[in-house]
Structure 1
Amino acid sequence: MREKKKIMTIIGLFIFLGLIVIGIGFNKKTNDAVVETEGQEWTGKKNIPVKKESESIAIPGFESMTFVKDEKKQTVNLYNPEINTCYFKLSLLLPDGTQIWESKFIEPGNGIYEIELNQELAEGEYENAILKYECFSMNEQQTPLNGSEIKFNLHIV
Structure 2
Amino acid sequence: MDKKKIGQIVAVLVLLVAGVVIGMNWQNWFGNEEPQKSLAEVESAEDWTGERKAPAEPSPTIDIPGYDRIQLKADATEQQVNFYNPENNTCYFKISLWQDDDTKLWESKLLEPGKAIYDITLDQALASGSYENAKVKYECFSLGEQEPLNGSEIKLTLEVI
In structure 2, give the amino acid aligned to 1:89. K
Q: 1:112 and 2:129 equivalent?
A: no
What whole-Å deviation, never above 9, does each CA across 1:98-141 have from its counterpart, x for those lacking one?
001000010000000000000011111100201000000011x3
Q: Does 1:101 align with 2:101?
A: no
1:103, 1:147 → 2: CA distance?
Answer: 14
Equivalent position to 1:92, from 73, 97, 101: 97
Percent identity of paired positions between Structure 1 and Structure 2: 56
Does residue 124 of structure 2 align to residue 124 of structure 1?
A: no
TM-score, with structure 2 as normaliser: 0.62
State how far apart, in whole Å, the 2-side matches of 1:68 and 1:123 are.
8
1:70 paired with 2:75, answer: yes
Question: What SS is found at the alignment partner of 1:88?
Answer: strand
Alpha-carbon offset, residue 56 of structure 1: 1.8
In structure 2, the residue matched to 1:151 is 155
Name the structure where strand makes up a greater proportion of residues.
1
CA deviations 1:70-124 (Å, max 9, x no partner) are: 1000000110000100000000111242001000010000000000000011111
Residue 139 of structure 2 corresponds to residue 134 of structure 1: yes
Which runs of 5 or more residues in structure 2 are unaligned? 1-58
Name structure 1 gaps, 5 residues minimum.
1-53
Report how many residues are paired. Answer: 103
Which protein is bigger by CA-based radius of gyration? 2
SS at match of 1:60: coil
Distance in 2, Cα, partners of 1:136 & 1:59: 13
Q: TM-score, normalised by structure 1?
A: 0.64
Cα offset, 1:55, TM superposition:
4.0
